[in-house]
Structure 1
Amino acid sequence: MTKRARIVRYIAVGLLIAAVLGTSGAVFITSMSRMVEQDTKEMLDMIAGQNAARVRSTMLLELRSLELQASFISNYQDIKSDAVIESLKRDVERLGYLRIGILSPDGASRNTSGPDNNLFYREYFQQAMKGDAVISEPLQYSLDPTINVLVFAVPIKKDSHIIGVLRGAHDVAQYSLMLDMSMFGGDGHAHIVRPDGNSLITISTDEFHELFNTHPLDEHYELKDEPGLEVLRTGMKNGESGILNYRQENGKHVYIDYRPLGINDWYLVSYVPVDAMLGRSTDVLRISIGTLLVLLIVFLYLIISIIVSKERKEQTLEKIAFVDQLTELMNWEYLRYKIVSGELKGELSDYCYIIVDIANFKVVNELIGYSRADNLLKAVARTLKASVFRDEYAIRVVSDRFCLLWRTKSAETIKERLDRLFSNLEQLQNRPEFSILQGRQVNYFCGIYPIEDARMPLGTIHEMSIVALDSIRDGKSSGYAIYDQNLHLSLRQKKELESRFDSALQNDEFIIYLQPVFTVKDKTLYGAEALVRWNHPIRGILNPLEFIPMLEENGTIGQLDTLVFEKVCRLQRAWIDQGRPILPISVNVSRAHLLAPSFTEDYQRIADTYRVNPSRLILEITETAFVDAPAKFKDVFVRLHEIGFIIAIDDFGTGYSSLNLLYDLAIDYIKIDRKMIIGLNEGGKSETVLRHMLHMIQEIGMSSVAEGVETESQLSLLATANCTYGQGYLYAKPMPVEVFEQLLDENHR
């Protein structure tokens, strides 16, 4: 080949490479610009969606709160009474209203503050009187013209008739704060507008965008040739949503996201300048492309191809080995690998290890089915993943158990982060797909171990967290515990009691105490409740709280139930032989024992053995034991009644009581939980609720027993509310059988 030919070839190759570089650079810049533009739109869509959901849910929650208050007010003879207004004044402070008012059908109002006036002419009043829950457009606040307000109004109904309207006024500024566009460096703005474009609520620093002010979109004649305007105008009229690139009068482009708010026919419109998002990225891309050399491109392409191929294979293998297939969280083996391989960022002793456990997830599975339960696990996993920062980990351990590795050991920081986490987790059951869980609290428990020694095996760290977790899993609401040596001591004591249980049964270490039950009207001794105590040979008399939860957890509670029942039958047999009166005695029965196949036959056999009357034996079942699946217990209750036993529901009012249970199940006694009695305030809501509950119990032919009666004022209120029986320290504390027999003899001389 001649020199000329070589030069031509080199030039041709150079031109070809230059052409390839130029084309590749142009394609690369265009593609990346599109990707950045798409990411920007997705970010705007996400933030606008979150803002819309936040405003919508807040407004609907306000309406729901007013509806509940209206339902409560409808029970008053005079819905404008001083008592009602005083109650509403407390709601003004608690819920952040400017003021709340009650309107009668003629429009006359009585307010928590300011003068009373007639609002018959207000559109929201007219709509509410038709039975609708209403949110008004911004109105001028009558007490301060500088403030615009949104008025929330709901009808007050009684016996299907509308007897008035409850309305509350919120400062519009409260909702402006929810329209968060801070992610766009202060260049983003948002408005709540009518479908015609008139602005209602704004956070824009220039107050009004050129499109969204006091004029409808149809009146912007100067912009009639702008194609984006027609898309926006038509879309909002048709109730559609979308994102468009709009050119302003100054020639600058903005992205505009418009979507129905879901309140009235309002729209949330969000916009951000295009230059603010794309300018810097475009400059970087151009500089990068200009510095590339042909040879570097070729080598990089080959190297990247090899690396990408290898990385994909490794990612596939890693996903199989280290990713939980259901939740897509990393699994336990991944965490073990990160620690063993030394890839964990920083020292292990910089972290705290947190076990997260979903309480009673088996019950949740039964309630909502396995498919929805899996969806709940996925939602929990996403929430946990959102709680971790860079260099922190969210892991699925197994089933309904997860763990977190947070890079902090500050108790205050842990508490703050866990409070937020619990709040986010507990909101999951408010989603439509989990609506069946509403009214049934799903609790989450966390055991925390602040790692002290970076050389400590992961298994040991996990065990320490389990110790902390076990100390709180019997709680009735979400909570956490941090490991310390005392918890470990408590665990050893628990294991000692667990291992000693069988010998305690054989050695007759379990004894019964009797707490008297009296008639409320005349304080006559009516019966007693049998309460078990463990007479430990070393630790002395143990409170039931020290061993009952343990027995329920390990499944041996049924043996103790049976023992107590047999002791009560033996006691009643002795009273019969001694000629003493036979008073009804109640015994507690656990959920698991009640569902045992031979439960009814065993109890009937014991009663027959001691020749005692089953009608003098009351079986107490805690309300929360069957409220989630009452159908399982219906046949058991019927069979117990056929034998002659009396059925009582214990701790009524502690859970989310279903009134249908009182009709569907064969129940004789309702025992009102002591928390409701302790909370009694004369004339307060608790008294009203209790009176209605007792009246309902009486109307359906059941007897009521108030637990935890401690004061004469409580007794007086119970007497006026027609409560049948009472027990508590006002009457007598739980006492040994011998002391109770003396009381029995004194009351029946």
Structure 2
Amino acid sequence: MKKSKLPKQALIILSIALVLVISTVMWSSAQITQDTEEEVQSTLRDVATQNALIVQQELRENFNLLYSLADAISVSPDAVNAKSIAAQLGSFVSTYEFKRIGFVSPDGQVISTDGYVQDLSSRDFFKDGMQGLPGITNTLQDRLGTPEPINVFSIPVYDQSDSIIGVLFATYRNQHFEEILGVQSFNNQGFSCLVNQDGDLIATSSNAPASLQEADRMSDYLTQDARNDQPLQDLHTLLQSSSSNGGYFYGGSQKYYYYAAAMDNLRSDRQWFALTIVPDQVLSSRSAPILFQVRLLILLIIVIAGCGTFAFVHSIRIQRRQLYRLAYVDPLTNGDNFACFKEKLSHCNGDCGFYVALDLQDFKLINNTCGVAKGDETLLEVWKLLQTGTHLGEFSAHINADRFILFLRDNDRCTLEPRLECLCQDISNLSTKLNIPKLFPLCGIYETADHKEIEQNYGKAVQAKYPIKGKRTRHYAFYEDLDIKQLSEDRLMEDVFEDALKNGEFQLWYQPKVDPVTGNILGAEALIRWKRPDGTMLSPGKFIPLFEKNGNITTLDEYVFRTVCAQQQRWLQAGATLYPISVNISRVSLYYSNVVDKYREILNSFRLDPKYVPLEITESATIDNSDISSLIEQFHEAGFTLLLDDFGSGYSSLSSLNVMHFDTIKLDKSLIDYIGDRNGEKLLLHITQLLQSFGMTITAEGVETSDQVEFLKNLHCDDIQGYYFSKPLPVNEFEDFVRKHTGL
């Protein structure tokens, strides 16, 4: 009995062991399938969200253009006719790839850039616009010109008294939405579409099923399969909730997963969603190889339990290594990423050291001028320098783009600063090695021994760079040296910038330029002021340097230029004598290769002679920009008059004036203040004689005394700008000044 029992007991134990092992393997199989499904769902969400962001950006840019054009039309509503539409709006059609742009008068009559005249009074977008509502239509079939699917953007147009004088619209080819949605995903097995909250289909990608492309609504497509009763109800509930989420439905023999990413509401009744859809076979194709291996393991376990167990454990280890690489290895440098940096540093709490947030100022110029591949090569070379520059127990990581972080264990600033100087110099020297624009690394530093909140510590290191960003005067700054109050004020100004621009808080003041002999007005310079809703007036010195750092200055530059053009147009239509009103262009705007074309388009939209809107370029902007000579030539070819502003403020190079052909030189106040000093007056005399010999006119800035005026008269200075004659004036006071100093 005992002998007979032993084999049976062994068999039972072996069977139990095999059942446990097989159960474990089967559980692992289900877990792998679940992980794969979650991975697909995560990717699905990311693709849908990205599509939504791209479409939102497209919508925002198109509406911003229409608002800008509406401002121009509202300047002179009596001039709205077919000829003015073609002149003011025609140039924007091809630039922004619209089919047409048109204006609908209150009686429903439309005039458009392609010459069509018809009655649109029955159209919903016209009715909404006359009620003060912007909008974009569902997909329509354009019956004018080439028949094709379109979407119509529309906004109301207000006159100077805030009364609606019509509706401005732009016809947008639906094909553009299809192209945006056409980005490949899931090896081109995934497809996307745009729907509104009622389930109406706006656009679909070209690889979507034909039955979906032919449908007008998602319900039309889903009701083709009887299994979609509940999925259809779930989708309807999701769309009506205006939130982002995922789900599934059936189509033919396939089950599909989708994720609906909600876009920012244009209007509460016009919610759009970007749907990205992927067939179930994507999940099975990803999990099938793994499941096959698992089933093979089951067979091998039955034959040789030990080998099967070992193989399974081995496969788990491989997956863990892959997950570790995804979680902690930067794909560009193959070094540590920020997650790995945080993990390592979290074990060093109590160890004092310095967080160093490093980036490369104006790095995008390298990508724009040398290509992304050269940009990646540059980042790899920087990473190598960081690796050689760190010691045992110190960490470094690539965060993203051109941003890096280091943790250095120096005792104090005295030992840290030489290391940073050496590192920054080595990075700058890469410019010669790689034949790229000059690199200028910036480091923000925060010292602490508390590593419980690593992201907050990094944020403080980033904040430390704030005062030096964009100046190219220092490579590093410490958080302890920050003016936190100023930082908070700057952040507030950044947050409200866009709303302030839309609400007209930025005002233009005009400082006259006067003939020093006759005292007659010769022109003016447009100066920006920011009047907050509480009545506080902010001077340019508070917000211009900030916007030069964060890039908002380009938008502000264009706003000032467009506003001056509009004001000149109003004076012209009122029959007033026009005087040149000069406008400043920041050095940041000059880095964009299309700056000349953009300013030419704005000027042409107002049908102004460029001589009435001269452009001022600061002397410091000519130092960093290697393309400045070419830009000056392009501006001249476009008909603009160019003024070199702040000449003599510290960067002057007289020899460069022979290369950069400016029309007018503006002598900085620092030179004017030399008047009364014998040597200073000699300097002014020889400078003005040299400039006049080049054929340049001369404007003196910052003139405040009668002695200065008399001296400048003797130098035959062409015009004077300063408090002696007038401070900067709001437009109504400037008009009064012009009437008093016209020489009439």
Q: What TM-score do the two structures reach when normalised by structure 1?
A: 0.49
Larger Rg: 1
Q: What TM-score do the two structures reach when normalised by structure 2?
A: 0.49
Q: Which has the higher contact order (CA 8 A, sep 6+)?
A: 2
